[in-house]
Each structure stands twice: as C-alpha cells, then as structure tokens.
Amino acid sequence: MTAQIISGTEIARQIREELAREIAELKEKHNLIPGLATVLVGEDPASQVYVGQKEKTSLALGIYSERHDIPAETTQPDLMALVDKLNQDPKIHGILVQLPLPKHLDETEVLYAINPKKDVDGFHPVNVGKLMIGEPDYLPCTPHGIQQLLVRSGIEISGAEVVVLGRSNIVGKPIANILLQKKEGANATVTVCHTGTRDISFHTRRADILIVAAGRPKAVTADMVKEGVVVIDVGVNRIGKTAEGKAILAGDVDFETVKEKARAITPVPGGVGPMTIIMLMTNTVRAAKLAAGLV
C-alpha cells in the first residue's frame, strides 16, 4: 500500500486563497479590516521566526498587523498593561502573545487577561469551555488545522476510531474535544493516550485515524498501526544537521515504515505545520466579523 500524502502546504494554500477573497469582501462591503497584534517578549530565535511568519502572512492577506517586540526583562505589570491596551484598541481583533515567555513572567495570568473575543489562539478558559460544550467562537489553531487536513482530504471522521497520542492543552485535549462533538467533520469515538497509558500499542492498533503529538522522534513505528490507518503527525523534532548546517527534522512517527501500511499520512515538514498559521488568520477574520456583528 502506498499512502496518500496529506499536504498541509497545499491545503493551507487553498485556505489562504479563500481567506484573501473573504478579507477583500469585508473591506469592500463593510469597510472592515481584520487586525492582529502579536507580542514577543525577548529574542528567542524560534519565536522570532514564528512571529515573523505570522506578520508576513497577515500582510500578504490584507490583515492589519501590529508587532510588539519588547525586552526580555519586561515586568509583569508592563506586559499586562500592553495586553490591556490591545484589549481596548478597536483596530485589533486578535491578540497573540508568543509563548514561551521568560521564566520570571506568569504565562497563565497573561493569557487569562486577553479578552476572550480577541483570543485567536483559543487558549482562554472561556474559549476552552465553549469548545468543550460544542459552541466555540474559535478553535485552537493547530487542532483546527488537523481537522481541516482530515476534512479536506476526504477522510471520513464520523464513526471513526480516533486515537490521540498526547494530552497537552495545545494539541491533545482540544483535538480530542473537537472530533468527539456531534457535528460535521467530527462525531468520532476518541481515545487519548498519554504517559500513564499501560499499553499504547493496544490502542494505536485499533485506530482508524491516529493523531500523534507525543514529543518524541519516531515514537510510532509500523508495528503499532494497522493497515489502512490515517496518520496525522504533529511532531517536529530536530535530530541532527546536514553538512551545510541545516536542521534535519523528524516527526513523532517513523514516516518511512508507517507510510507502507497507512492509507494516508502527513509528512514532516509540510504537514500540520503550515496549517497552524493559516488557522490563526482564519480566527482573526472570524474575530473581526464577531466584533462587527456579521456572524
């Protein structure tokens, strides 16, 4: 069996084109320009790259973008004051505070201070609660991207046995909640495995759809999956460098062996990764429409 490669790069491109048309229509018909503010504390290289990608994508789509780069030694009161200022700014519909923050800052206090209507990451307890009961304003970006990968690849989710490896608040818990809702693009039977699970392979071999966010390179091997499984690999692990100094990346799934048994599989890179930023843009547009009473 040769697996279908689920290209996040291609699906993100499709969504980008749809969003560009929607944003142009909002400007033309309602004089509404979605606005996104990013806050980066310190100079973490990976965070700088990620924030830069968000800014570039915003500008390309016609989203108003503000980038707030502040020193690593910023105090908690100063950061909270910036969040409050952005909460009050009518030009800003979405606020994203890039994590991780420096250790002296309280991430929870900062995230909870963001107006839930502007919480386009979907991390505020209000938005987590709305997701849980099936009435979300926003879906968290990476889990939402995973759902879109499945739906747009024609994978039947309703009634499927979905197994999720990992129970993080960013991926594992929210994707489990999204896919068990009694809705289109969901309605699955979901099992979540984690470090306390006694026999992970017992569960992974039952999966029709396996979503892996384990945080360990090549943790899932061919003997752990059944023929015809659909595999979504969320992991991005640096496992070495090329002679030219470029990072060698691997997912949480042993791609080369598992693809021989899978019906469909995401690559690393080029799978889940490209979806996260475009779903952030989707949430920002939705936030603007919510603020304007258009949804």
Q: Are the C-beta atoms of 268 and 250 separated by less than 8 Å?
A: yes
121 classed as catalytic: yes
The active-site residue, picked from 118, 119, 121, 173, is 121
Q: Which two tokens stand for residue 66?
A: 């503000």
d(CA 150, CA 66): 32
- List phi, psi (to 5°) of 19: -65, -40
Q: CA angle, corner 93, sides to 173 and 179, nearest 5?
A: 20
Q: What residues are paired with 165 via a beta bridge?
A: 193, 212
- How do 264-265 and 230-233 pair as beta strands? parallel
54 in catalytic set = yes
Q: Which of 98, 147, 148, 181 is catalytic?
A: 98
78 touches 104 (CB < 8 A): no
The residue from 54, 118, 173, 218 that is catalytic is: 54
Whether residue 98 lies in the annotated active site = yes
Active site residues: 54, 98, 121
